[in-house]
């Protein structure tokens, strides 16, 4: 039996700071907002300031598990943040009470992403949510939507796309997105909703620390299929040293994760947040040790 949402939020609430929004346009990239560094040391970018520390010397295969669509379905959001972590939770910018919900998740040791709505083939606001990035909008409107979303979601390490089968195929729109992500010192995770997405290549070209999803867990609601996808995630991690999986706060997915997550350590895996995984993928000095 899970405790009430109010009880968990009250007990886990911690203070977080909203990410500031800066910059006049997509081509004028301001310095990334960052906390002041120690004397003689550079300040850390946003994605490292908000990252969950890990043991970078850990040689076990690493699994980064991202749970999308967080914040709107409140009971399932609570069930997801109560899972053992560190997980990476991707939050809708239009979800209510985001600071409180995200602070509760951070208190449980989870990392956070902005789950940015992007135009899909269905072209339905019911699926993307309000104010998605769109290929048929002026750049100024897309910038306003992206900046508003970044401002709405506190304490994130970066951004991944929600939907986007149209938007992530458009180089100009993905350049606009990448430059703003870089301007805010964030990382980017390509959810890879279509195989010919250009999102990660445009982010990398802009100098944004980036990675792409390896396995979708729950395109099917069948729990047996979800278990098979989790097995594929393990196989990928064994082969490559790390794997990034994406799932959603759906009943069968959450039930499968409640069974699967406690088995990872005994099988020789370590659960990692996305920031450390991006650093590992890009050969970067993460510099944050648990």
- When computed from its CA atoms, the radius of gyration of the chain, rounded to whole angstroms, is 18
pTM of this prediction?
0.87
Query: 161-183 pLDDT, tens per residue?
Result: 999 999 999 999 999 999 999 99
d(CA 76, CA 257): 13
pLDDT at 124: 83
| Structural domains of the chain ordered from first start | 57-281 (3.20.20.370)
d(CA 173, CA 91): 21
Closest to 269 (Cα-Cα) out of 240, 247, 290, 289: 240
Query: 102-134 pLDDT, tens per residue?
Result: 999 999 999 999 999 999 999 888 899 999 999
d(CA 56, CA 40): 24
- On the question of pLDDT at 157 being above 70, the answer is yes
d(CA 275, CA 46): 11
Instruction: Return the minimum-mean-pLDDT range out of 31-40, 205-214, 216-225.
Output: 31-40
Neighbours of 64 (CB within 10 A): 29
Query: 89-98 pLDDT, tens per residue?
Result: 999 999 999 9
Bridge-partner residues for 187, per DSSP? 158
Closest to 189 (Cα-Cα) out of 172, 205, 204: 204
């Amino acid at each position: 039996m899970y405790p009430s949402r109010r009880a968990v939020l009250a007990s886990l609430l911690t203070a977080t700071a909203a990410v500031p929004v800066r910059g006049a346009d997509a081509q004028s990239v301001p310095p990334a907002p960052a906390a002041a560094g120690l004397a003689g040391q550079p300040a850390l970018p946003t994605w490292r300031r908000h990252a969950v520390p890990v043991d970078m010397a850990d040689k076990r295969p690493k699994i980064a598990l991202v749970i999308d669509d967080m914040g709107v379905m409140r009971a399932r959001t609570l069930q997801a943040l109560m899972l053992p972590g560190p997980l990476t939770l991707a939050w809708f910018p239009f979800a209510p009470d985001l600071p409180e919900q995200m602070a509760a998740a951070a208190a449980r040791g989870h990392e956070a992403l902005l789950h940015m709505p992007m135009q899909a083939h269905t072209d339905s606001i019911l699926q993307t949510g309000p104010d998605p990035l769109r290929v048929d909008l002026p750049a100024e409107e897309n910038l306003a939507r992206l900046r508003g979303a970044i401002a709405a979601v506190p304490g994130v390490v970066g951004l991944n796309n929600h939907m986007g089968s149209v938007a992530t195929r458009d180089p100009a729109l993905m350049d606009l997105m990448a430059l703003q992500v870089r301007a805010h010192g964030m990382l980017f995770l390509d959810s890879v909703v279509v195989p010919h997405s250009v999102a990660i290549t445009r982010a990398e070209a802009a100098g944004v620390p980036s990675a792409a999803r390896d396995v979708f867990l729950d395109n099917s609601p069948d729990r047996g299929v979800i278990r098979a996808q989790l097995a594929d995630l393990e196989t990928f991690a064994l082969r490559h040293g790390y794997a990034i999986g994406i799932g959603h706060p759906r009943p069968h997915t959450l039930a499968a994760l409640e069974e699967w997550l406690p088995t990872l350590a005994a099988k020789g895996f370590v659960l990692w947040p996305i920031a450390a995984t991006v650093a590992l993928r890009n050969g970067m000095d993460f510099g944050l040790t648990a």
